[in-house]
């Protein structure tokens, strides 16, 4: 029996470990592999011989995988390493990277490699599968998608997004409760992640209900931002709602492509430019132009790693995509990414598929025009219909003495 390796890459999400667990669980149950290795710190673990034997851990502790499933960020750690393009005239150094990876695959008798990540990681999957094909090496290379940004092509929505969207929507609702208590006009600007795609910012509208339509204004990177129009929007909405809550993407930019925070950039005493965030920049703008009580809130990294508030739908699908990736490799497929298609919205149903990874690598999916309101500062009913199913269902995490009891990731850091 041969062996296989799985690794994680890119930024953390609350669902990426569920994909790891789904894949490893299916690989283990298949009985097709003697050892299932986890490469520590993505593809660099393969290059540096940094592995965990996950199948051994399962044998030691039958609950091993279950404990990891709801742990946020990445059990195996990440990397930001991009494989060089390997043209015919590639230099020796670039060639040596591929040779090192495949030499290590051979040394460990690896016949399948799984990479969980976003479009950069899918580029790695694409390059490795092509190298294997070109050199007649029998290693199946399969990608498993993840990104909170929901910007991958060839998939209805990405694992990690639903949990992030749920965290953001609940956070915005709680911010509304926090804000509504004072009997004075106020503007609260909530800055949400998403440099190029506004999916996470859009999902803040799920906070709305029958007595609170917060966020009252929504600004996406897909719509050219205009400071004067923004101030006009705020001026119009403020008397109508009194406590205005505004969701803005960190990536909003003007028609000429410049980020709005760039205007606000200042140099510190050492001469380094300091970029304020979009939220802080708009806070200053509102304060200066309207003189109203204003605050900006940057939803922190918990929007991507709040294991304590995840979407059951998201975690289930992340797990399912991991399982499906294992199935694809076992069937002999390579150069594919496990994907999902929405087959119905009411009731919500999906189907797992495999898509050519080259169509996903290095591409990004923005919010389509039909999901954005004509006024440019809200989303349409069709967008809400698309988003709603993705945040449904809750997952219980284990608490000990009031703190969530996630498993040790001592192999990733010093302590």
List active site positions: 149
User: Binding of a copy of itself at residue 290 (CB under 8 A)?
Assistant: no
Q: Residue 171 carries which DSSP code?
A: H
Our finding on whether 124 is near a copy of itself (CB under 8 A) is: no
DSSP-derived pairing of the beta strands 51-53 and 110-117: unpaired
The residue within the footprint of a copy of itself, chosen from 21, 68, 169, 294 (CB under 8 A), is 169
In whole angstroms, the minimum distance from the beta carbon of 386 to a copy of itself comes to 14
**Given 65, 74, 125, 246, the residue binding a copy of itself (CB under 8 A):** 74
> Among 274, 344, 349, 373, which residue interacts with a copy of itself (rule: CB under 8 A)?
274
> Is 349 near a copy of itself (CB under 8 A)?
no
Rule CB under 8 A: choose which of 52, 90, 292, 302 binds a copy of itself. Answer: 302
Does residue 306 bind a copy of itself (CB under 8 A)? Answer: yes
Q: Is 354 in the site for a copy of itself (CB under 8 A)?
A: no
Applying the rule CB under 8 A, the residues between 131 and 160 that interact with a copy of itself are: none
Select the residue interacting with a copy of itself from 69, 140, 157, 173 (CB under 8 A): 173
Q: Which stretch binds a copy of itself (CB under 8 A): 57-65, 170-178, 226-234, 341-349?
A: 170-178
For a copy of itself, the closer of residues 59 and 80 by Cβ is: 80
Contact pick of 73, 83, 217, 355 for a copy of itself (by CB under 8 A): 73
**Could you give the C-alpha distances from 32 to 3, 61, 103, 152, in angstroms and in order?**
8, 20, 22, 30
Binding a copy of itself (rule: CB under 8 A), the pick from 36, 43, 247, 299 is 299
Examine residue 288 and tell whether it contacts a copy of itself (CB under 8 A): yes
Token digits of residue 272: 């380094």
Phi/psi-derived region of residue 129, left when phi > 0, alpha when psi is between -120 and 50, beta in every other case: alpha
6 vs 329, beta carbon nearer a copy of itself: 6
Report the C-alpha gap between 350 and 345 in whole angstroms.
9
Q: How many residues bind a copy of itself (CB under 8 A)?
A: 77
Tokens representing 367 are 């919010």
Local structure of 343: helix, strand or coil: strand
The answer to whether 45 and 7 are in contact (CB under 8 A) is: yes
Running DSSP on this structure, what letter comes out for residue 390? G
The verdict on 304 binding a copy of itself (CB under 8 A) reads: yes
Name the DSSP class of 85: P
Task: State the burial class of residue 219 (Cβ atoms within 10 Å of its Cβ: 0-12, 13-18, 19+).
Answer: buried
23, 139, 305, 360: residue in contact with a copy of itself (rule CB under 8 A): 305
Give, as ranges, the residues between 2 and 41 that touch a copy of itself (CB under 8 A): 12, 41
In the complex, least distance from residue 17 CB atom to a copy of itself, rounded to whole angstroms: 10
Cβ atoms of 14 and 135 closer than 8 Å: no
Please identify, among the stretches 91-99, 146-154, 237-245, 353-361, the one whose residues bind a copy of itself according to the rule CB under 8 A.
237-245
Cα 125 to Cα 235: distance, rounded to the nearest angstrom: 49
Residue 291 found at the interface with a copy of itself (CB under 8 A)? no
Give yes or no for residue 228 binding a copy of itself (CB under 8 A): no
Asked whether position 346 contacts a copy of itself by CB under 8 A, the answer is: no
399 belongs to the binding site for a copy of itself (CB under 8 A) = yes
- Using CB under 8 A as the binding rule, the residues of this chain from 247 to 266 that contact a copy of itself are 263-264, 266
Q: Round to whole Å and give the CA distance between 380 and 217.
A: 13
Report the site for a copy of itself in 195-224 (rule: CB under 8 A).
Answer: 206-207, 209-213
Helices and strands in the chain: count of H runs, count of E runs:
13, 15
Name the burial class of residue 106, with classes exposed (0-12), middle (13-18) and buried (19+) by CB atoms within 10 angstroms of its CB. exposed
> Under 8 Å CB-to-CB from 113, ≥6 apart: which residues?
4, 5, 6, 7, 46, 105, 128, 139, 140, 141, 142
């Amino acid at each position: 029996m041969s062996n296989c390796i799985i690794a994680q890459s890119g930024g953390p999400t609350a669902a990426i470990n569920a994909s790891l667990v789904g894949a490893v669980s299916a690989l283990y149950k298949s009985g097709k592999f003697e050892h299932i290795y986890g490469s520590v710190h993505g593809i660099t673990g393969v290059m540096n011989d940094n592995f965990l034997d996950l199948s051994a851990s399962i044998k030691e502790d039958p609950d091993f995988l279950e404990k990891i499933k709801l742990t946020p960020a990445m059990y195996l750690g990440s990397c930001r390493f991009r494989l060089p393009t390997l043209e015919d005239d590639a230099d020796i150094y670039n060639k040596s990277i591929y040779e090192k990876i495949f030499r290590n695959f051979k040394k460990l008798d690896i016949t399948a490699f799984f990479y969980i990540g976003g479009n950069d990681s899918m580029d790695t999957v694409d390059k490795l599968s092509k190298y294997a094909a070109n050199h007649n090496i029998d290693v199946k290379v399969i990608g498993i998608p993840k990104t909170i940004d929901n910007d991958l092509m060839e998939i209805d929505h990405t694992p990690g997004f639903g949990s992030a969207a749920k965290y953001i929507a609940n956070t915005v609702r709680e911010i509304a409760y926090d804000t509504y208590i004072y009997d004075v006009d106020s503007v609260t600007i909530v800055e949400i992640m998403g440099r190029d795609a506004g999916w996470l910012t859009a999902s803040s509208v799920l906070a709305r209900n029958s007595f609170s339509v917060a966020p009252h204004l929504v600004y996406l990177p897909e719509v050219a931002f205009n400071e004067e129009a923004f101030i006009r929007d705020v001026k119009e909405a403020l008397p109508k709602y009194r406590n205005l809550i505004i969701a803005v993407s960190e990536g909003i930019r003007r028609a000429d492509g410049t980020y709005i925070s760039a205007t606000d950039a200042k140099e510190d005493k050492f001469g380094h430019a300091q970029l304020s965030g979009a939220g802080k920049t708009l806070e200053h703008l509102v304060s200066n132009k309207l003189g109203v009580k204003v605050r900006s809130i940057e939803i922190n990294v918990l929007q991507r790693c709040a294991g304590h508030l995840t979407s059951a739908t998201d975690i289930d699908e992340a797990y399912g995509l991991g399982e499906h990736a294992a199935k694809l490799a076992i069937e002999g497929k390579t150069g594919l990414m496990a994907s999902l298609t929405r087959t119905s919205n009411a009731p919500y149903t999906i189907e797992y598929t495999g898509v050519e990874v080259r169509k996903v690598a290095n591409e990004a999916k923005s919010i389509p025009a039909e999901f954005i309101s004509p006024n440019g500062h809200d989303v349409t009913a069709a967008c809400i219909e698309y988003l709603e199913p993705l945040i449904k269902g809750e997952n219980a995490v284990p608490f000990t003495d009031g703190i969530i009891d996630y498993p040790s990731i001592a192999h990733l850091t010093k302590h």
